Amino acid sequence: MTDTPLLEIRDLSKTFGSVQALTEVDFEVREGEVMALVGDNGAGKSTLIKCIAGIHGYDSGEIVFDGKPVTIHSPKDAARLGIEVVYQDLALCDNLDVVQNMYLGREERDWFFRLKEPVMEQRTTETLRGLAVTTIRSIRQPVASLSGGQRQSVAVAKAVQWNSRLVILDEPTAALGVAQTRQVLELVKRLAEQGLAVVLISHNLHDIFEVATRITVLRLGRDVGVYDRATTTQQEVVTAITAGIPTKVAGVAETAGDAL
Partner 1 sequence: MSSEAEIVAPGIEAPDTDAVGQGGFWERTKGNVRSGNLGVLPVVLGEILIITYFAFSATNFFTAANFTNVILQMAGTTMIAFGVVFVLLLGEIDLSIAYVSGICAVAVAEFQLPASSHDYPGWLAILLGLAIVAVIGFAQGTVVARIGVPSFVVTLAGLLIWQGVILKVLQARDTIIIEDNWINYAATYYFSANVGWLIAAAITLLYGMVALSGALGLRRAGLSAGTGTALAKLAGVAVASFGTVAICNHARRPTACPEGTPLTETCYRPLGLPLAALLMVIFLVGLTYLAKRTAFGRHVYAVGGNAEAARRAGINVPRVRVIVFVISSVMAGVGGIVLAARLQSVNLNQGGGTLLLDAISAAVIGGVSLFGGRGEVRGALLGALVIATIANGLNIGGYSTGTIYVVTGIILLLAVTLDTIARRLQVRAGR
Interface ranges with partner 1 (CB under 8 A): 75-76, 79, 87, 90-96, 100, 104-107, 109, 113-115, 117-119, 121-122, 125, 128-129, 132-142, 144-150, 179-180, 182-183, 186-187
Torsion angles phi and psi, residue 16, rounded to 5: -110, 100
- Classify the C-alpha dihedral 242-247-249-253 as positive or negative: positive
Give the burial class of 7: count Cβ atoms within 10 A of its Cβ; 0-12 exposed, 13-18 middle, 19 or more buried: buried
In the 8-state DSSP scheme, what is residue 203?
S
Least distance from C-beta 124 to partner 1, angstroms?
A: 9
| CB of 57 or CB of 130, closer to partner 1 | 130
**Main-chain dihedrals φ then ψ at residue 201, nearest 5 degrees:** -100, 130
25 versus 133: smaller Cβ distance to partner 1:
133
> Which parts of 17-82 are beta strand (E)?
19-29, 34-38, 60-65, 68-70
Closest separation between CB of residue 56 and partner 1, Å? 14
Task: Provide the minimum distance between the beta carbon of 122 and partner 1 in the complex, in angstroms, as a whole number.
Answer: 5
Q: CB-wise, 55 or 70, nearer to partner 1?
A: 55
> Closer to partner 1 at the Cβ: 42 or 142?
142
First to last CA, the chain: 34
- Nearer Cβ to partner 1, position 143 or 241? 143
The nearest distance, CB 250 to partner 1, in angstroms, is 40
**At closest approach, how far in Å is the CB of 158 from partner 1?**
8
Q: Which amino acid is at 171?
A: E
